[in-house]
Amino acid sequence: MPAAVLFDSWASLGKVLLSAVLTYPLLILVLRLGGKRTLAKMNAFDFVVTVAIGSIVASTLLSTAPVVNGVGAVATLVALQAAVTWLSVRSDRFEALVKSQPTLVFHDGTYLDGPMRAERVTREEIRGAIRDAGHAGTDGVAAVVLESDGAFSVLARVPAGDETAVEGAAAMAGVSGAAEHWDTGNPTGPFTNPTRGPLAG
């Protein structure tokens, strides 16, 4: 095995260590200025930006490029992410372009095969999410939603007339597929139900 594989030179090692010492506080500053969303629970867009930031930092530490170049590139990505987030908050159309819509994958005891195939979700994944939410089975579950960040949200049934039932129905307004189960007159399926109430059990 060539010695260079394990150790190149003290100068090379010193450069990496110095770059790390200089990059770390600058990176913390940039991420702090970027806000909580920079490394929060990520949707696809946030994930791509975070991976790119990691790649830039690695290149900065291990290449001969100046530290300022790497920090500048990270700052640019964080600024772009902040701009996209700002526009998403103010424009539903723009948000739809850069972020996926939450999708209803389970409702009222029924696995929704169409949305599940489209999102490549298995029944076992849904059952796992239901267990993670503290349910032994599906009887106490009104709906399961695949969120834009890939996580599952499990909505429990609530008694008819409960204030949280109305709030739960309102929370489904932006979920793909929810409208098909919203108010169809079917006494066993829709979210708005004459005998159960919205999302009621």
Measured from the Cβ of residue 88, the count of other Cβ atoms closer than 10 Å reads 18
Cα angle: 124, vertex 126, 129; to 5 degrees: 110
pLDDT digits (tens, 9 = 90+) for 26-52: 778 776 766 665 555 666 777 788 888
Intervals of the chain under pLDDT 50: 165-167, 183-201
Measured in whole angstroms, the distance separating CA 11 from the mean position of its chain's CA atoms is 42
pTM given for the model: 0.58
Q: What is the mean pLDDT of the chain?
A: 75
Structure tokens at 51: 């991976």
Kindly list the distances between the CA atom of residue 158 and the CA atoms of 99, 111, 191, in Å, as whole numbers in the listed order. Answer: 30, 20, 12
